[in-house]
Amino acid sequence: MADVEAAAANAQADLSSREALIAHLKLEIEKLRRELYGSRSERKARLLEQMELQLENLETAASEDELAASQAAAQAQTVQSFQRKRPARKPFPEHLLRERVVIAAPENCPCCGSAKLSKLGEDITETLEVIPRQWKVIQTVREKFTCRECEKITQAPAPFHATPRGFAGPNLLATILFEKFGQHQPLNRQSERYRREGIDLSVSTLADQVGACTFALEPLHALIEGHVLAAERLHGDDTTVPILAKGKTTTGHIWTYVRDDRPFGGTAPPAALYYASRDRRQEHPERHLKTFTGILQADAYSGYNTLYDPARAQGAITPALCWAHARRQFFELADIAANARRGRQAPTISPIALEAVKRIDALFDIERAINGLSAEQRLEAREERSALLLTELEAWLRQERSRLSRSASVAKPIDYMLRRWDRFARFLEDGRICLTNNAAERALRGFALGRKSWLFAGSERGAMRAAAMTTLIMTARLNDVDPQAWLADVLARIADTPQSRLPELLPWAWNKRAV
pLDDT value at residue 210:
85
DSSP 397-428: HHHHHHTS-TT-TTHHHHHHHHTTHHHHGGGG
Q: Is residue 111 part of a domain?
A: no
pLDDT value at residue 84:
54
Ranges 346-350, 388-392, 441-445, 460-464: which has the least confidence: 346-350
Compute how many other C-beta atoms are within 10 angstroms of the C-beta atom of residue 219.
13
Residues 27-50 have a mean pLDDT of: 55
The CA angle 500-504-509, to the nearest 5 degrees, is 150
Q: What are phi and psi of 239, to 5 degrees?
A: -145, 160
Q: Could you give the dihedral angle defined by the CA atoms of residues 231, 232, 238 and 243, in that order, rounded to the nearest 10 degrees?
A: 30
Whole-angstrom CA distances from 508 to 270, 271, 290, 371, 472 are 9, 9, 26, 22, 11
Compute how many other C-beta atoms are within 10 angstroms of the C-beta atom of residue 78.
9
Per the prediction, the chain carries an average pLDDT of 82
Query: Is 274 in a helix, a strand, or coil?
Result: strand
| Residue bearing the bigger pLDDT, 76 or 254 | 254
* Number of domains into which the chain is organized: 2
Q: Is residue 34 part of a domain?
A: yes
| Residue bearing the bigger pLDDT, 463 or 16 | 463
Does pLDDT of 32 surpass 60?
Answer: no
H helix or E strand, kind and range, residue 287: helix 283-288
Query: Is 368 in a helix, a strand, or coil?
Result: helix
* The one-letter amino acid at 353: A
State which of 419, 446, 473 marks the end of a domain: 446
For 154, what's the count of Cα atoms within 13 Å in the CB-facing half-sphere?
A: 7
Q: How confident is the model at residue 427 (pLDDT cuts 50, 70, 90)?
A: very high
Q: Is residue 455 part of a domain?
A: no
pLDDT value at residue 258:
96
Contact yes or no for 321/300 (Cβ under 8 A): yes
Helix/strand/coil percent split, the chain, to 5: 55, 10, 35
Q: For residue 421, with 0-12 CB atoms within 10 Å meaning exposed, 13-18 middle and 19 or more buried, which class applies?
A: middle
User: Which residues, other chains included, contact 404 with Cβ-Cβ below 8 Å and sequence gap of 6+?
Assistant: 352, 410, 411, 414
Among 258, 256, 255, smallest CA distance to 234 is for 258
User: Which residues, other chains included, contact 173 with Cβ-Cβ below 8 Å and sequence gap of 6+?
Assistant: 162, 163, 209, 213, 487, 488, 491
Does pLDDT of 43 surpass 60?
Answer: no
Does pLDDT of 21 surpass 70?
Answer: no
Predicted TM-score of the model (pTM): 0.77
Q: Is residue 416 part of a domain?
A: yes
Does pLDDT of 40 surpass 50?
Answer: no
pLDDT value at residue 236:
94
pLDDT value at residue 407:
82
- Highest mean pLDDT pick, 38-52, 153-167, 220-234: 220-234
Percent over 70 (pLDDT), the chain: 75
DSSP symbol at 457: B
pLDDT, tens digit, 9 for 90 and up, residues 216-233? 899 999 999 999 999 999
Among 190, 281, 225, smallest CA distance to 470 is for 225
Cα 146 to chain centroid distance, Å, stands at: 56
Pairing of strands 318-321, 233-245: unpaired
Query: Is 144 in a helix, a strand, or coil?
Result: strand
pLDDT, tens digit, 9 for 90 and up, residues 105-136? 888 888 888 888 888 888 887 777 777 788 88
Query: Is 466 in a helix, a strand, or coil?
Result: helix
Does pLDDT of 322 surpass 50?
Answer: yes
R_g (Cα) of the chain, nearest Å: 30
Q: Is residue 244 part of a domain?
A: yes
Contact yes or no for 366/382 (Cβ under 8 A): yes
Residues 395-416 have a mean pLDDT of: 90
* The one-letter amino acid at 74: A
pLDDT value at residue 515:
44
Q: Is residue 492 part of a domain?
A: no
Q: How confident is the model at residue 242 (pLDDT cuts 50, 70, 90)?
A: confident
The CA angle 192-195-197, to the nearest 5 degrees, is 120
Residues 427-444 have a mean pLDDT of: 92
pLDDT value at residue 160:
74
CA 247/CA 243 separation, integer angstroms: 10
> The domain containing residue 280 runs over which residues?
224-446
pLDDT value at residue 246:
63
State which of 446, 476, 503 marks the end of a domain: 446
| Stated length of the chain | 515
Among 266, 265, 285, smallest CA distance to 274 is for 285
pLDDT, tens digit, 9 for 90 and up, residues 260-319? 999 998 999 999 999 998 888 999 999 999 999 999 999 988 889 999 999 888 899 999
DSSP 154-175: EEPPPPP-SSTT----HHHHHH
CA 197/CA 132 separation, integer angstroms: 9
Contact yes or no for 191/237 (Cβ under 8 A): no
pLDDT, tens digit, 9 for 90 and up, residues 267-278? 999 999 999 988
Does pLDDT of 472 surpass 60?
Answer: yes
pLDDT, tens digit, 9 for 90 and up, residues 48-105? 555 555 555 555 566 656 666 666 666 665 656 555 555 566 777 888 888 888 888 8
Contact yes or no for 299/437 (Cβ under 8 A): yes
State which of 54, 74, 94 marks the end of a domain: 74
Q: Is residue 45 part of a domain?
A: yes
Residues 134-149 have a mean pLDDT of: 87
User: Which residues, other chains included, contact 453 with Cβ-Cβ below 8 Å and sequence gap of 6+?
Assistant: 184, 185, 186
Q: Is residue 330 part of a domain?
A: yes
Backbone CA torsion sign across 189, 193, 195, 200: negative
User: Which residues, other chains included, contact 495 with Cβ-Cβ below 8 Å and sequence gap of 6+?
Assistant: 160, 162, 216
